[in-house]
Amino acid sequence: MSEPTASANPTPEAHREKLMTALFVAMVQHQTETALMMLGHLPHPETGEHVFDPETAQLVIEQLAMLSVKTKGNLSADEDKMLKKCLQTLQMAFMETMKHQAAAAGASPILSPSDAAPAAPTAPLFAMAPATPVAAAAPVVQSSSAPPAPAAEDDSSARKRFVKKYEA
C-alpha cells in the first residue's frame, strides 16, 4: 500500500497556517470596510444609509497602523503588502474626505497639497484632522447617496447606546 502524498493530506500545522492567513485577511478587510463606511464611502450594510463618523474611522485606521507596526517581520510578503495597501487607501480616503468636508463647510482645507502623501504607519492621524473631543462628536447618518455632511451641533442623545449586562 502506498502512503498518501503530502499535498493531498496537509499537516495540521499547514492547515492552521492557512486558516490564520484567511482570518488575518478577513480581519483587515473588515476593518478597511468599517473605516470606509464611517467616512461615508460605503453604505451601512443593514440600513443602506451613509454614516459619517470621522473619529471612529480615524481610530480604525490607527488600529491598522498599530497592527502593521506590531506585526512587522511576522507577516508573509502577501499579508504585509495587503495590509500596507489597505492602510494607504484608508489614509488617502481620510485625507480626501476631510478636505471635502472642510471645503463644503467653507473653511480652508485641513491639509496642504504637500501633505497629500500617505503618512508612515507610525505617524498618528490626529495631526491630520481638526482636534475635536471624541465625546463631543456624534455620528451623522444620511439616507441619500450624496457625500456626507458635517454634524451641525452636539447632540449626544442621537448616538445609540448599547449596554451588555452580565449576570452571575
Could you report the per-residue pLDDT of 37-62, keeping only the tens digit for each? 999 999 998 999 999 999 999 999 99
**What's the pLDDT score for residue 56?**
96
Cα-Cα-Cα-Cα dihedral sign, residues 83, 84, 85, 91: positive
Give me the residue label for grid cell 504585509.
80
Judged against a pLDDT cut of 90, whether residue 137 lies above it is answered with no
* Res. 64: pLDDT tops 70: yes
Answer yes or no: are the C-beta atoms of 39 and 93 closer than 8 Å.
yes
Percent of the chain with pLDDT over 90: 52
The pLDDT tens digits of the residues spanning 74-130 come to: 999 999 999 999 999 999 999 999 999 888 887 654 444 444 444 433 334 333 333
Say how many C-beta atoms besides its own lie within 10 A of residue 22's C-beta: 10
Q: How far apart are CA 92 and CA 88, in angstroms?
A: 6
Contact 119, 91 (CB under 8 A): yes
Neighbours of 42 (CB within 10 A): 15
Q: What confidence score (pLDDT) does residue 144 get?
A: 46
Query: Mean pLDDT throughout 59-66?
Result: 97
* Mean pLDDT for all residues in the chain: 74
* Dist CA 79 CA 84 (whole Å): 9
